[in-house]
Structure 1
């Protein structure tokens, strides 16, 4: 549990899709010694990501499990549609317009949204205003040719 406000970072996907961006961000999270919780609004996305994170790269994989699996608390990355944090994750990743819920206990929340999808774009804008209004520090990261660049 952290005593400071959760940082909320918004990642505007423009050059790659979620399947390419999410594993890279999860690798960085694990390299910090943090655990991650990936929350989606769709159970089908949990199933898709469960398969994808095992095979997205031939030479590696990301250790993970759906939150409904046994021993969820021991997993470095959990995939879920729920608001619980059974693995005491430090970082919360929101995809597909998932709601953040209570951010207490998270050091960082990462909101990934597709810049070509007007529904996701408008949802991210509304969430930015809501989160900022709650007093959380917010940052906006835009995908550029040379990687992610902080814009705000």
Structure 2
């Protein structure tokens, strides 16, 4: 069974944090679905990933291409990514289920700490997942570096 990790962005935008998280996930060999809710936003993330990170290229694709199943990182707007992910990274409030947490190595919920609606949605997701018995960790970057602030057992 996997776990849900919640990443509360307060000092860096998603465009800076996502490549770091994707790089860490790729280091352990995971295939990743980055799940969003807005097509234009996913296209912008795709473009940002093509530009960096400085330390190396992150192979990825935007859902709907001819090679989706081969992509180690696939940006989507729905469940059931063609690349058979072992990790889902939810951005902008994209839904994740307790069943997904249980089936994946990791589910990451990444949310903007300066957006009240995003904060509330992350709280609701935390409550739903932990009440369903999913292990979860809450990470914040308030101090300027990532620190685990809360943990719920499975």
TM-score normalised over the length of structure 2: 0.90
Q: 2:78 aligns with which of 76, 79, 82?
A: 82
For 2:60 and 2:48, the matched residues in 1 are separated by: 11
The CA deviation string for residues 92-132 of structure 1, in whole angstroms up to 9 with x for no partner, is 00000111144053110000111110000010001100011
Q: 2:123 aligns with which of 112, 122, 125?
A: 125
> Aligned-pair distance for 1:49?
1.1
Note closer, same or farther for the CA distance 1:140–1:55 as it changes in structure 2 (3 Å cut): same
1:138 to 2:136 alignment: yes
For 1:107 and 1:99, the matched residues in 2 are separated by: 17
Structure-2 residue corresponding to 1:147: 145
Structure-1 residue corresponding to 2:104: 106
List structure 1 segments (4+ residues) > 4 angstroms apart after TM superposition: none
Note closer, same or farther for the CA distance 1:82–1:126 as it changes in structure 2 (3 Å cut): same
Structure-1 residue corresponding to 2:113: 115
Note closer, same or farther for the CA distance 1:95–1:128 as it changes in structure 2 (3 Å cut): same
Q: Where do residues 49-68 of structure 1 align in structure 2 (5 Å cutoff)?
A: 49-58=45-54, 60-68=56-64
| Aligned-residue CA RMSD (Å) | 1.4
> Aligned-pair distance for 1:79?
0.1
Q: 1:71 aligns with which of 67, 71, 77?
A: 67
TM-score normalised over the length of structure 1: 0.91
For 2:8 and 2:53, the matched residues in 1 are separated by: 23
For 1:55 and 1:79, the matched residues in 2 are separated by: 15
For 2:143 and 2:136, the matched residues in 1 are separated by: 23
Q: Give ranges in structure 1 of 5+ residues lacking alignment.
A: none
Structure-2 residue corresponding to 1:41: 37
> Aligned-pair distance for 1:88?
1.4
Whether the 8 Å contact between 2:9 and 2:111 is mirrored in structure 1 is yes
Q: 2:6 aligns with which of 2, 7, 10?
A: 10
Whether the 8 Å contact between 2:9 and 2:110 is mirrored in structure 1 is yes
